[in-house]
C-alpha cells in the first residue's frame, strides 16, 4: 500500500504541475529576482506547494490503510492551517508574527488536542522521561523549529524538496519495517509528491514550492519525527532498528534543516543581529559563493544527509548521546572536503 501511495502521489504531481505553472504565469503569481538573495534571473511561479499538498493528501486518502483514524484528524487540521497560511504568504504576503502565531496554533493543536508529544529522550543525556509540563513545551518547540527549518533552507533549486524526499524515505522505510502501515503510507505519499515535484524544481527550476510547500513538508516531518521518537517497540523490528537511538535517527534524517538553522541563528546572534534577519550565512549560500553550481550545492547537501543517516546506523551500539553527536559531527567534517578543494579554507 505504501508503494501505491508513492506512485499515486508522484503521478498527480507530475501530470498536474504543468497546468499549475500555466495558471501561475497567467495570474502573475511569480517570484521576481532581486539580485541579492535570490539567484534566478527570471520570474518563476511560486505556488508549487499546492501540488505537494494536493498530491500527498490525495494519495494518502486513497491508500489510508485503516478505517480507524487515530490522531490523524488533528494532523489533517494542522496541515490544512499550515498550508493556507503558506499559500496566503506566497500570493499576497503574511506578516512574520502572524505566521509564527499560526505555527504556535498548529503546535498546540497537535500537542494539547491530539496528544502528539515527545515524552522523553530515550536515554540521551540520561533523560528517559520528561516531567511536569516540559514534555508539552519541548514538543511545541520541536514542531515550530522543524516547520521553520524547512522554510529557511528553501533557498536553492531542489534543496528543500530533495532533503524532504530523503527524510520521508528514511522515515517511511523505518515505519514499514516496524509494521506501521499508517505512518509509512503518509511518508511514501509525501515522498512520491516530492519526487514528482523535484522534476520541476531541480535546477534550473520551473516552479518554486513557496511557503505553502516548505511549511507543509515541515509540519508533516515534525509529526513523523515525534511518532518515530515515541514509537513503541515492535516485534517487526529487526535488531539493528530496535537498538538504534530513535531521537538520533530523527535528527539524522532532518540533519541539514535542523543543524543549519541552529548554526545560522548562533552566527547571527554572535554578530549582534536578530536570529530572524535574512542574510547569506546558510551553508548553501556559502557553497554557492565558493563557486559550486545549484546542482553541485544541493547534491553535496543530499550526500551529507545520507552520510548522517548512515552514521546513525553505524554508531547505534554506542551511547545514544555519542551517536547523536556523531550524526552531526561526521557530515560537517566531510563538508570541509569540497570547501578545502575550492577555497583552501573551512566552511562553517
Instruction: For residue 18, give the C-alpha cell.
Output: 504543468
Residue 320 has pLDDT above 90, yes or no: no
Average predicted confidence (pLDDT) for the chain: 87
Q: Which residue has the higher pLDDT, 315 or 69?
A: 315
Cell of 39: 539567484
Nearest to 13 by CA among 192, 188, 185, 169: 192
Residues 100-109 have a mean pLDDT of 92
Q: Give a yes or no: residue 109 inside a domain.
A: yes
Residue 33 CB neighbour total at 10 angstroms: 13
Rg (CA), the chain: 19
Which residue do the cell numbers 490523524 mark?
72
* Inter-residue long-range contacts of 258-266, CB under 8 Å, 24+ positions, other chains counted: 258/145, 258/146, 258/149, 259/328, 259/332, 260/149, 260/152, 260/153, 260/284, 261/145, 261/148, 261/149, 261/152, 261/153, 263/348, 264/152
Give the tens place of pLDDT for each residue, 161-185: 999 999 999 999 999 888 888 899 9
C-alpha cell at 269: 546572534
Total residues found in the chain within this entry: 348
Per-residue pLDDT reduced to its tens digit, 39-92: 556 788 889 999 999 999 999 988 886 666 667 888 889 999 999 999 998 888
Beta strands in the chain (DSSP E): 30-31, 44-45
Question: Quick one: cell of 337?
Answer: 572536503
Domain annotation covers residue 207: yes
**Which of 109-118, 124-133, 213-222, 310-319 comes out lowest in average pLDDT?**
124-133
Under DSSP, the state recorded for 124 is G
Average pLDDT, integer, range 136-150: 94
Task: Indicate whether 342 pLDDT > 80.
Answer: no
Name the H helices within 109-155: 134-152
Residue 168 lies in a domain: yes
Indicate whether 247 belongs to any domain.
yes
Number of domains in the chain: 1
**Domain membership flag for residue 298:** yes
Backbone angles phi, psi at 45, to 5 degrees: -55, 140
pLDDT of residue 269: 82
- Report the first-to-last Cα separation within the chain, whole angstroms: 42
**Domain assignment present for 261:** yes
211 vs 85: CA distance, rounded Å: 8
pLDDT at 69: 66
What pLDDT, on a 0 to 100 scale, did the predictor assign at position 240? 65
Query: What would the pLDDT profile of 205-249 be if each residue is shown by its tens digit?
Result: 899 999 999 999 999 999 999 999 988 765 556 656 777 889 999
225 domain residue, yes or no: yes
Return the residue matching grid coordinates 505553472.
21
Domain that holds residue 331: 2-32+43-343
Amino acid at each position: 500500500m505504501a508503494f501505491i501511495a508513492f506512485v499515486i502521489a508522484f503521478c498527480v504531481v507530475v501530470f498536474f504541475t504543468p497546468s499549475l505553472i500555466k495558471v501561475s504565469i497567467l495570474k502573475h503569481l511569480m517570484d521576481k529576482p532581486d539580485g541579492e538573495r535570490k539567484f534566478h534571473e527570471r520570474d518563476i511561479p511560486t505556488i508549487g506547494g499546492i501540488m505537494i499538498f494536493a498530491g500527498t493528501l490525495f494519495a494518502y486518502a486513497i491508500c489510508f490503510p485503516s478505517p480507524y483514524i487515530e490522531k490523524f484528524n488533528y494532523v489533517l487540521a494542522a496541515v490544512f492551517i499550515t498550508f493556507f497560511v503558506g499559500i496566503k504568504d506566497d500570493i499576497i504576503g503574511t506578516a512574520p508574527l502572524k505566521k509564527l502565531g499560526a505555527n504556535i496554533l498548529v503546535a498546540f493543536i497537535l500537542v494539547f488536542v491530539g496528544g502528539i508529544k515527545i515524552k522523553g529522550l530515550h536515554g540521551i543525556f540520561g533523560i528517559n522521561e520528561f516531567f511536569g509540563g516540559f514534555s508539552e513545551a519541548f514538543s511545541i518547540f520541536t514542531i515550530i523549529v522543524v516547520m521553520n527549518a524547512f522554510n529557511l533552507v528553501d533557498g536553492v533549486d531542489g534543496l528543500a524538496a530533495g532533503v524532504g524526499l530523503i527524510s520521508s524515505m528514511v522515515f517511511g522505510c523505518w515505519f514499514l519495517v516496524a509494521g506501521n502501515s499508517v505512518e509509512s503510507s503518509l511518508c511514501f505519499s509525501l515522498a512520491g509528491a516530492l519526487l514528482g515535484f523535484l522534476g520541476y524544481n531541480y535546477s534550473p527550476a520551473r516552479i518554486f514550492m513557496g511557503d505553502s510547500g516548505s511549511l507543509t513538508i515541515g509540519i508533516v516531518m515534525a509529526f513523523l519525527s515525534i511518532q518515530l521518537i515515541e514509537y513503541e517497540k515492535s516485534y517487526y523490528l529487526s535488531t539493528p532498528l530496535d537498538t538504534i537511538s530513535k531521537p538520533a535517527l530523527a535528527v539524522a534524517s532532518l540533519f541539514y534543516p535542523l543543524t543549519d538553522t541552529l548554526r545560522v541563528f548562533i552566527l547571527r546572534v554572535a554578530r549582534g543581529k536578530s536570529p530572524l534577519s535574512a542574510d547569506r550565512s546558510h551553508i548553501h549560500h556559502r557553497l554557492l559563493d565558493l563557486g559550486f553550481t545549484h546542482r553541485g550545492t544541493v547534491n553535496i547537501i543530499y550526500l551529507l544527509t545520507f552520510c548522517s543517516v548512515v552514521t546513525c546506523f553505524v554508531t547505534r551500539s554506542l551511547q545514544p548521546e555519542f551517536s547523536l553527536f556523531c550524526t552531526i559531527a561526521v557530515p560537517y567534517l566531510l563538508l570541509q572536503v569540497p570547501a578545502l578543494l575550492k577555497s583552501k579554507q573551512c566552511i562553517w
